[in-house]
Structure 1
């Protein structure tokens, strides 16, 4: 029963992950824009430059925070990861029990 439940949870999480792959890519791009803006903000010397890079950082952060579908995909990825770890642990326990019976 535990294996069946792990398979069902894994299939559902992988379908959600595949469904939200596009928003997750957009989240990565918006976070990269925000990161680049922060880096350029730190390196900028002029006041106007700092204001413009701060605006770019705010735009990148607002794009990433408004992307809720990508956060659902990240949660699905975490669930899939822990399901995989639990599956491997179950397999390892079965092998250990088989060894003890020999």
Structure 2
């Protein structure tokens, strides 16, 4: 039953990820533009250029924040990673067998230690 739930979760996450690939690519493009804007702000010598690039950077950041489907795609990618790691996760439960003579051996060694 665990594998069935993981399969359903993985299927839903894969569909959401594929459906949101376009917005995710646009968010990646926004990150590249933001990196270029940051480099230009650092390189700029005049205050006007720095302010202009800063305004452009704020516009790019706001457009990336408004790109909600890309965030859903990122969450779907995280869910797919979770499904991938849990798929072959074997929960090995160690069965501890009680040896009736082991307790006797432990008590015998305790008695021998006390007698010396």
Taking structure 2 as the reference length, the TM-score comes to 0.75
Q: CA deviation at 1:88?
A: 2.8
Taking the TM superposition and a 5 Å limit, the aligned residue runs for 1:42-53 are 42-53=42-53
Number of residue-to-residue matches in the alignment: 93
Asked whether the 8 Å contact 1:20–1:73 carries over to 2, the reply is yes
- Structure 1 segments unaligned to the other structure (5+ residues): 98-102
Per the alignment, residue 18 of structure 1 pairs with 18
Per-residue Cα deviation, 1:21-72 (whole angstroms, up to 9, x for no partner):
1000011111211121112111111111101111111111011000001001
Alignment of 1:52-67 (within 5 A): 52-67=52-67
RMSD: 1.5
1:75 corresponds to: 75
Q: Partners in 2 of 1:39 and 1:14 — Cα distance?
A: 35
Higher-Rg member (1/2): 2
Looking at structure 2, the residues matched to 52 and 30 of structure 1 have their Cα atoms a distance apart, in angstroms, of 17
What is the rounded CA distance, in whole Å, between the counterparts of 1:69 and 1:88 in structure 2? Answer: 30
After TM superposition, the structure 1 stretch with the greater mean CA deviation from structure 2, 71-80 or 39-48, is 39-48
Q: Which has the higher helix share?
A: 1
TM-score for the superposition, normalised by structure 1? 0.84
Does structure 2 conserve the Cα–Cα contact (< 8 Å) formed by 1:34 and 1:59?
A: no
**Secondary structure at 1:16's aligned position in 2?**
helix
Q: Which runs of 4+ in 1 moved over 4 A?
A: none
